[in-house]
């Protein structure tokens, strides 16, 4: 039983160091300069999908109606899934009431975001 205590004492600093590294990554992601992408949302679709990238604008079909912010919420959830980043790191900077939107992303490089979006394009 004494060995168990020594084992826990040896593991504890590693766990704390791991937790600190996770918190540091989250903090750094929030402090980074955000990446911005332009999106043309097409709400009311049967399913979410990335349709095309044309003239610097991502065209996305969104499976939610354009009422009461439902399409915006679904857009953020879809981008979070596609980009594999937290919804809290995605913000609609401009265009909350229109189809054309300026989206701010944190915690991801622009090249990585564009690559992930292209991989999901249909």
Calpha distance 60→6 (Å, rounded) = 55
- Span 35-120 CATH architecture: 2-Layer Sandwich (3.30)
Structural contact between residues 104 and 35, judged by C-beta atoms closer than 8 angstroms: yes
pLDDT exceeds cutoff 60 at 1: no
24-78 pLDDT, tens digit per residue, is 666 665 556 899 999 999 999 999 999 999 999 999 999 999 999 999 999 999 9
- Total-model pTM: 0.74
Q: Which residues contact 120 (CB under 8 A, 6 or more apart)?
A: 49, 50, 82
Bridge partners, 42 (sequence order):
61
Mean pLDDT calculated for residue range 86-106: 96
């Amino acid at each position: 039983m004494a060995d168990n205590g020594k084992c826990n004492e040896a593991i504890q600093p590693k766990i704390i160091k791991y937790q600190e590294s996770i918190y540091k990554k989250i903090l750094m992601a929030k402090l980074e300069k955000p990446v911005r992408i332009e999106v043309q949302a097409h709400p009311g679709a049967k399913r979410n999908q990335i349709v095309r990238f044309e003239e610097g604008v991502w065209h996305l079909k969104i499976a939610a109606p354009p009422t009461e912010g439902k399409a915006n919420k679904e857009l953020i959830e879809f981008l979070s899934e596609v980009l594999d980043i937290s919804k809290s790191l995605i913000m609609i900077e401009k265009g909350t009431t229109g189809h054309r939107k300026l989206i701010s992303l944190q915690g991801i490089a622009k090249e990585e975001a564009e690559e992930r979006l292209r991989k999901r394009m249909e």
